[in-house]
Structure 1
């Protein structure tokens, strides 16, 4: 790449290269990459647009741009991703938080607000970066927040996010509900489990190529982990406790059908902003 004489010219060069590569938000990503390379905020880049970038800054911008052009997710390059109202640290050890998962947060907030308990106990099973439970704890500080994950690297990232945000959440290492004590009960269990089939062609495209496969793919055409959570959640829910699950846009019927065979009532599905079924949940019938 030629060496632009000003920061404005360097920004334009980055934007054009990203646009030519088909990056959808090329302008935004160019600003983020240049900000990382220079240590300048967006406001500072605007104010100093006529300044010449130093050789180190130009080289850093070039290296970051090359990584993005090779398909590496912008969240991995920056090490950050916004989710809900939070700025979260992310890593290749966990899924990049996505806007559609905010539907799960919205549904969970509704359940929390309707709970009779002063401090509802909420578990995020398979927490990854901690995005869901930390968003809930930030919005409703009175909840007792818990989270589990089988990946120790993901838990390290989730714990770091909790510390950075000063949010009190207890974390457990293990798959889904397995690390919990037999007597542990929650008023709400939420999860965004793997739900992509192993042969789904989307796994070879975009950001999914760089994310942990075991956090994306499940057996039984993507339904295995959803079914496991539906089967095991009753042992860890209070009477009238809720289970909320994110799933694929075409999996709501299968999830509802499995819930209908168990001790569940008030089965509900919430759509995402595109109108696709995205979250399905149900309330455990009170034990007699």
Structure 2
């Protein structure tokens, strides 16, 4: 007889990962794994768990195995088409909401939206916001559209657009806030061939250059779409803050600054358009 308790003991995965996979396979809550741990499990459920556990042992991300990841208190669909939302990116949402304080129906643009995590989290937190989200990947936009429908409903749709950064945007559009979590890993960074990154879309991770190419493009083009007094905020690598601040300053943005994540790393940099 195979039980939850038996699978927990026999699994070679960390206990937390085993529990997450069991919750997913069985459709049980965590408390049920405890209170029903001695129940006999269906063979099909055991086989499905074993298959997922093998894929996890081979390195496949938990988020892709279960098809979702929590971000900013919301559960987002995740597929191999999109970057897995990460806790450090919540700082970008927090900054966005702070910058929107006092603005009525602010217009917000998320460049490279992926799963839509940033755009949807902003729209969910500010029902009056007008949020645009662009991505060059049609597959990513399909995931973002499903997340928006699930989490925001039909009455608060995102304005989704397939675009290489700002290229396809209406030149007449202006935003009080532009945010982006662009690819910022250098092409030769060994982390690209390690851990979860091996299974995520490479175009969402690296610019196939020095890690600053996409950021340079955004810094040069995004201010054309900022209203006077609007701001641009970018997530970047742990060692890129000084370079990003220099790019923002050279572009003519004012009050340029970097903000630290919970680990104390300068994770997001931004500035204001006053021209």
**Quick one: distance in 2 between partners of 1:221 and 1:264?**
23
Matches within 5 A, 1:134-145: 134-145=120-131
How many angstroms does 1:114 deviate by? 4.4
Post-superposition shift, 1:34? 1.1
Q: Does 1:272 align with 2:269?
A: no
Alignment of 1:28 onto 2:16: yes
Which residue is equivalent to 1:149? 135
Establish whether residue 262 from structure 1 lines up as the match of residue 251 from structure 2: yes
**Which of 150, 163, 166 is matched with 1:164 structurally?**
150
Question: Secondary structure in 1 aligned to 2:31?
Answer: helix
Structure 2 unpaired stretches of 5+: none
Give distance in 2, aligned partners of 1:114 and 1:244: 18
The offset of 1:273, in angstroms, is: 1.0
CA distance in 2, matches of 1:6, 1:175: 50
Partner of 2:113: 127
Supply the distance in 2 between the matched residues of 1:41 and 1:174 (Cα, whole angstroms): 40
> Over aligned residue pairs, what C-alpha RMSD do you find?
1.2
Whether 2:90 is the aligned partner of 1:93: answer no
User: What do residues 99-141 of structure 1 show as CA deviations (whole Å, max 9, x unaligned)?
Assistant: 11011111111101143xx100001000000000111111111
Size of the aligned set, in residue pairs, is 272
2:160 counterpart of 1:174? no
Structure 2 residue aligned with 1:185: 174
Please state whether the residue corresponding to 1:46 is helix, strand or coil: helix
Partner of 1:22: none
Q: What does 1:187-202 align with in structure 2 at a 5 Å threshold? A: 187-202=176-191
Where 1:240 maps in the other structure, the secondary structure is: strand
Say if 2:70 is the partner of 1:82. yes
TM-score by length of 2: 0.96
Name the SS for the 2:101 alignment partner.
Answer: helix
| Alignment-derived partner of residue 222 in structure 1 | 211
List per-residue Cα deviations over 1:126-167 (Å, max 9, x = no partner). 000000011111111111011000000000000000011124
What displacement does 1:244 show?
Answer: 0.4
TM-score normalized with structure 1 length? 0.92
Between the aligned partners of 2:262 and 2:195, the Cα distance in structure 1 is 21
Task: Name the CA distance, whole Å, in 2 between partners of 1:250 and 1:219.
Answer: 18
How many angstroms apart in 2 are the aligned matches of 1:233 and 1:30? Answer: 43
Cα distance change, pair 144–199 in 1 and its aligned pair in 2 (3 A): same
2:194 corresponding residue in structure 1: 205
Runs of 4+ in 1 over 6 A off after TM superposition: none
Structure 1, unpaired ranges of 5+: 19-25
C-alpha separation between the residues in 2 aligned to 1:146 and 1:268? 24
- Which of 84, 98, 101 is the matching residue for 1:110? 98
Match of 2:53?
65
